[in-house]
Each structure stands twice: as C-alpha cells, then as structure tokens.
Structure 1
Amino acid sequence: MQKMVVQLKKTDWYDRFFSQRKILVTGGTGSIGSELVKSLLHHGVTRVVVLSKDDSKQYMMKQRLISKENISFILGDVREYETLKEATRGMDLVFHTAALKQIGICEDNPKEAILTNTMGTVNIIRACLENRVQKLINISTDKAVHPTSIMGATKFLSEKLIQEASRRPDVQTRFCSIRFGNVLNSRGSVIPLWLEQYRSGQPLQVTDLAMTRFAMTIPQAVELIKESAFLCQGGETFIFKMKSVRLGDLVQAMKAVLSDCNMNGAQFVLTGPRPGEKSFEQLLFADEAKRLFENEQLYVVLPHQSSSTPQARFKRARHNEYRSDLAQKWSVPELVALLRPVIKQSLGDETNG
C-alpha cells in the first residue's frame, strides 16, 4: 500500500534532541497525547508529565505504563493558570494537545469551547513564559483555516495567540503551531463512532458522501509532531502533507472490511452536514503561500517579517491553496488495507479469523 506520508527514518537526532529533557504534555491521556507520551519515553527523556482533567483515563494510562519510572501525572484543567504555572515549572518542552475537539459539542457550548481552547492557550503561553520553557508546541487543525465552526474559530484564535507570543521582544520561549487534518481512529472520529453504532444495532450515520477530509494515522501524527518540535525556531506553522479521503469511499471501505470480518448487515443512513461543517477542508491561508516552504514530510509557514530561514532540506513551496477536495485521494483498496487491522482489533478476537 502506498504510504499516506513518507515515514521519518529513526535517526539519532530524535534521541539527541529529546534526551535528558523534561516534557509536559497537556491533554496527555487523549488519543494523540497518550501516543506521543509513549513515544517520548523511548528517547531518553528525564521525565514526561501528563496533565489532563479525566481521572479515569489517567488511572488506565498509569496502569498501562506502571513499569515506567520517568512519567508522572497531574490532574488539572488548562483553564486554571495556577495549575499550568506549577506544571510547567522546570519543563524544557511543552506539547499543548488539550482541547475540546467535537464540532457539535462546541457549537452547543461555545463558552466552554472558548474557555478550554482559547483561554487554555492563553494560560499555557503565560505559564511557559513565566517559567522560561524552551519550546511550546501547539497542536492545531485544518478547521482553523477559514473557520465556519466554533471549534475552528477557537483554534484560529489559538494559532494567532501563539504567533503573537513569538513576536514579543526578549522572549526566551520558542512557540509554534502544528496544523493537520482528521486523525483516523482517534477518539471521537468517525471510525470509532461507526463501530459503536454497529455494535448497538444502529444505522451508521453519514453526513455527505461527497465530503472530503484530510486524513492521517495516529503514529504518523506523533512522528511529525516530534519533527516539528525539533525544527521549531519560533512563530512557524507546520502543516502536514496528507492525502484526503472522500466520505463515500470511506463508506465503501468500511462495508468491505465489515464483510471481511463476517460482520454483515451494516446499514448506512445519510443525515446531512451538521452545523459548522464544511464540504471540504483547507490547510493553508492564501497569504501564507508567500511564506511557505516544504520538505518531504511537511510544509512550514514562516512568521510575518521573519529574518530566519527554514532548516536544511527545505525548499520554497509553490502552492496557493491546499484543499481536501483538490488533494490526492486515498483509493478504496488503500482505505481497506488501512482500516482492516484497526477494525479487527476494535471488534475483538471474534473477528480475527
């Protein structure tokens, strides 16, 4: 199967960069945060601190990593500045993954989305500045580009806050954002939702077969987050190179995999787009094209009036837009190959034959 993103080679610079570092991961019990934590533990870090507000997820993660001595947990909320001030004390790097990500929930609860996504970013920036953290890496989304949803708007503001922080004079902390699309099989994404609907005997809900979305796997997201942290000089926005998925093709692939697993009878029902949803996503603002560079894995947008240049292996990119409806698509056979192991694992041993 053709790979979605060229995989990074395991080179010594990962270990050199992360070795002996103290690292905080906000939202560290989430789908991406937890995998990032596990990956960082393989690079000789002094300590990884996981901050999240879900005690049940923390308990389960502690049990899975009980043999690891260089990990600790803080039960807390990014809305609370004093909690973040204490959590960032002595840290070298901070990965800010904590967020409310569900579009529908954010639409229904805009104040809560603002408090967590936007004010949480204000708080983590302030805490990193106070404690002179070396780098803060903010995890963003394609929904921050020309946002039509509350969630997208809060992420847009978070990116702007990161950029503003990087422009402050005499700042020791380096700030950057990482922007990518849908992460397949992450908590709250469509694949786990469909599996839950199937298990409960409900029809599998589909918004619009013509919709397109950028997509990548959790391991790919983690590897590219680490590369962006290494490359961050201050004020950049890193954009992952991804193929896109047409929802109708994903439905066909899901049907095929369920059939392979002797799970027949799945019924799909069209529901129409939900409030705030787009028919396609974008990863690039038009004005960013003038400051866009690329290597094999990603694009980087340099900050306005930057006197710096990207690190080696980057060249100037020639893109005016980066849209999921125009990007290279995953084929149905490729999606089947990608989804089969994920769905078999999720459905349990009865499907493994």
Structure 2
Amino acid sequence: MKSFYQGKNILITGGAGSVGQALCEKLLGYGPKSVALFDINENALFHLRQKYSSQKSDKIRFLLGDIKNLDRLQYAFKGVDIVIHCASYKHVLECEYNPLDAVETNITGTTNVIQAAINQNVKKVIFTSSDKAANPSNTMGTTKLLAEKLIIAANDYGARTTVFSCCRFGNVVGTSGSVIPLFRKQILDDGLVTITEPSMTRFMITQETAIDLVLMAGVLSEGGEIFIFKMPVVRIGDLADVMISKFGNAKKVIIGKKPGEKMYEEIMTEEEMSRAVEGTEMYVILPQMRIGNYSKYTDYPPVKTMKTSAQMDPLNADQIRLLLEEARV
C-alpha cells in the first residue's frame, strides 16, 4: 500500500476534520510528494498550520475553500493525483433541520468534486460515505446515498480517465461530534448521560481502521466499487454503562429517538448484496454497470447473507472496553 501513495500529490477535502487529519498523518509516513488539506474551517486550518510548522514539513499544503465553489476546486485540484473526499455534513439531526444545506454540501459539493477531478485529470477519487446510505431514513443518509450514486456514475462520463469509488463507515469511534466524546463530556462535566434508546445498535469502527479502509480502497479500486470493512456492533446502553464505569459515576437519562434516527443500521441493501463479494476484512459491492477490470475479485466469494446491527451479537462490556482502548478513548 505504501508504494501506491509514494511520490503522489494527494488532496483531502474536509482535511481539517478528525478523519482528514488522521489520513494526513498516515499518508505522510508513505512518502507522498505532497498532501493538501482542503477545508472551509479557517480556524482549524490555522491551528494545523501552527502544529506542522514545528515539524518543518514542506509536504503539507493548507487550502481554505468550500466544495460548493467549483472554481476553487478546479484551482486546488491542479496537479493532484489522488483526491480523498471527506468534506460533508455528517450529523443526522442537523441535516434533518437543515435539509437544503445538507443537499448543497453533500450532493452539489460532491458533484463539484467530480467535475473538478475530471477536468484536472485526477487519477483516483475516493469518497467517504456512511452506513446510513443503506436504506436511508433521514436526510443525511439520503444525501450520502445520492452522493454515492453520483460518484459511481462518474466512471461512465465520456472519455474520462479518473477512477471513482466509495467507502462506507459505521460510527467512527472517538471522532469529534460522535457519541463517545459526548458521553465522556457529560460524565465528567454534569454526571448526567443522555441516552436516546438503550437498545439502539450501531456499527462501530476505529479511526485507524477507517483510515486503512480508505487507503486500501485507493489501491484496489477499478471504478464504481463500494468498500465496507467488517465492523462490530455496540448497543448504546451498554456503551454508556462501560463509559460510566471508566470515567466516573453518572446518572442515565433516556430521552428517546431524535428526528431521523433509526433503532438499527445496515451496511448494504438486499439488492447490493446480490452483487457484493466478501474478503477476509471487508465487503466489496461491485457496480451494476461494469466499466473496469474486476478480475482481482474473482477469488472473493459472493455475499450470501447480511445482518442488520440489530441482528448481530453486540460486543460485551469487556469487548467495548477493548474497543475504547484501541481508539485511545
């Protein structure tokens, strides 16, 4: 994998976010020619510039911009070999209350990324999606699903040479805005933990695993695939109990489901399963319209069954503790 990224010019949209920063750190160890962090958050980019200035790295570029601005993307993508598209609105509740903004960023922004990548002859684009794109019940998941469709369809655009593919994550453990740092803050600050529904289940993935999935997708992709790592399931009530035992006493308060939330998640639909194959660590959903050479997946067996998070055995308390330790929570 290291040799694939060595000497390449790489750009990460949403590069100042948790996953974007971690991708940058990992990629710097692979010897790229440059890594550009493209983000709308001026303050976050400023602090990242200060952080890396002490390392005197001339490989990192900090680009302030909005993916809704096609002209800005065209300029930023000049000379770029690989784009990792992480920029999006990711919070279910905020997207429910602000659906137009979610559409403009997650769909129009992705359309701009596609157009700029084709125009600037970017070699590969990897889009980071969500398990909420499978049978979506909320605005965020719906916009992620349509963004996936746009990314996959981009492989059929005329004489393009850019290869487009997707990755689906579950909940990335410990990233900013996720439930784990929220629980921790509530325990330490208030002694009161708000739980939507204790029996709610979610697929969980560590940040390190999520990064490995993205980088592996870049190496493997032929065009139009959706890569999904096999992920454990956590029951939200159990997660709260483990975190209370880890960080201190706290009272649990059940507040009920928020708008747009589901009791369980899926990682692929029944239709997607019919064209999916299974590796040791991941599933690969192959595109309906085959435009590349997919012979590398010949030895992957087809996916026979797929369970929702509610149908899988959740991690027990000890396993949740280990997951938190792996994520350095």
Same fold, TM-score > 0.5, yes or no? yes
Residue in structure 2 matching 1:63, options 25, 28, 50: 50
Alignment of 1:64-143 (within 5 A): 64-66=51-53, 67=55, 68-143=57-132
| Shift, 1:318, TM fit | 2.6
Q: Per-residue displacement from partner, 1:246-301 (whole Å, max 9, x unpaired)?
A: 1121122112212xxxx3x3111101000100010001111112211121111111
* 1:39 paired to 2:26: yes
Amino acid at match of 1:173: T
**SS of the residue 2:35 aligns to:** strand
Distance 1:186 1:314, change over 3 A: farther
Which of 299, 315, 330 is matched with 2:315 structurally? 330
Partner of 1:151: 140
Q: Tell me the distance in 1 between the aligned counterparts of 2:216 and 2:206.
A: 16
Structure 1 equivalent of residue 163 of structure 2? 174
d(CA) in 1 for partners of 2:295 and 2:207? 26
Other-structure match for 1:349: none
Q: Kindly indicate whether residue 238 of structure 2 is the aligned counterpart of residue 249 of structure 1.
A: yes
* CA–CA separation in structure 1 for the residues paired with 2:63 and 2:229: 30
Structure 2 counterpart of 1:293: 277
* Contact 1:129/1:173 (<8 A) preserved: yes
Q: Return the letter of the residue paired with 1:235.
A: G
Where does residue 277 of structure 1 map in the other structure?
A: 261
Deviation at 1:316, TM superposition (A): 2.1
Structure-1 separation of matches of 2:148 and 2:297: 25
Q: Deviations over 1:221-263 (max 9, x none)?
A: 11111111100100111111111111121122112212xxxx3
CA distance in 2, matches of 1:157, 1:223: 24
| Cα offset, 1:342, TM superposition | 5.8
Q: Is the 8 A contact 2:213 2:227 kept in 1?
A: no
Whether the aligned pair in 2 keeps the contact of 1:167 and 1:235 (CA below 8 Å) is: no
Q: Distance in 2 between matches of 1:314 and 1:214?
A: 27
Kindly tell me the number of residue pairs found equivalent between the two proteins.
326
Computed over aligned residues only, the root mean square deviation of the Cα atoms, in angstroms, reads: 1.6
Matched, 1:185 2:174: yes
Return 242-251 or 122-131, whichever deviates more. Answer: 242-251
Distance 1:268 1:319 in 2: 39
Q: Secondary structure at the match of 1:89?
A: coil
Of residues 321, 328, 335, the one that matches 2:306 is: 321
Q: Which stretches of structure 1, 4 residues or longer, exceed 6 Å deviation after superposition?
A: none
Counterpart secondary structure, 2:274: helix
> Which residue is 1:3 aligned to?
none
Q: Does the 8 Å contact 1:50/1:73 carry over to 2? A: yes
Q: Is contact 1:256–1:336 with CA below 8 Å preserved after alignment?
A: no
Assess, with a 3 A threshold, how the Cα gap between structure 1 residues 31 and 325 changes in structure 2: closer, same or farther. same
Asked if the contact 1:21–1:45 (Cα under 8 Å) also holds between the matched residues in 2, the reply is yes
SS of match in other structure, 1:315: coil
* Structure 1: gaps of 5 or more residues: 1-13, 346-353
In 2 relative to 1, CA 313–19 (structure 1 residues): closer, same or farther, beyond 3 Å?
Answer: farther
Contact 2:24 2:35 in 1 (8 A): yes
For 1:257 and 1:341, the matched residues in 2 are separated by 14
Preserved contact between residue 257 and residue 339 of structure 1 (Cα < 8 Å):
no
In 2, Cα distance between the equivalents of 1:108 and 1:331?
Answer: 34
Could you tell me the percent identity over the aligned residues? Answer: 35
Corresponding letter in the other structure for 1:56: N
Q: Could you tell me how far 1:310 is from its partner in structure 2?
A: 4.9
Greater Cα shift, 58-67 or 294-303: 58-67
Residue by residue over 1:296-342, the C-alpha shift from the partner in whole angstroms, topping out at 9 and shown as x without a partner, is 11111111142632526841233343411123422211112332576
Give the match's secondary structure for 1:293. Answer: strand
Secondary structure, in 3 states, of the residue corresponding to 1:327?
coil
* Distance in 2 separating the partners of 1:310 and 1:100: 35
Distance in structure 2 (CA, Å) of the matches to 1:191 and 1:117? 24
The corresponding residue for 1:5 is none
Deviation at 1:172, TM superposition (A): 0.2
Partner Cα separation in structure 2 for residue 21 and residue 257 of structure 1: 42
Matched residue type, 1:332? A
Contact 1:142 1:179 in 2 (8 A): yes
Query: What is the CA deviation profile of residues 160-192 of structure 1, one whole-angstrom value per residue up to 9, with x for unaligned ones?
Result: 101111122322000001012100101110011
CA distance in 2, matches of 1:302, 1:136: 16
Q: Note if contact 2:206-2:326 (Cα within 8 Å) is conserved in structure 1.
A: no
CA distance in 2 between counterparts of 1:187 and 1:338 reads: 17
The structural deviation recorded for 1:150 is: 0.7
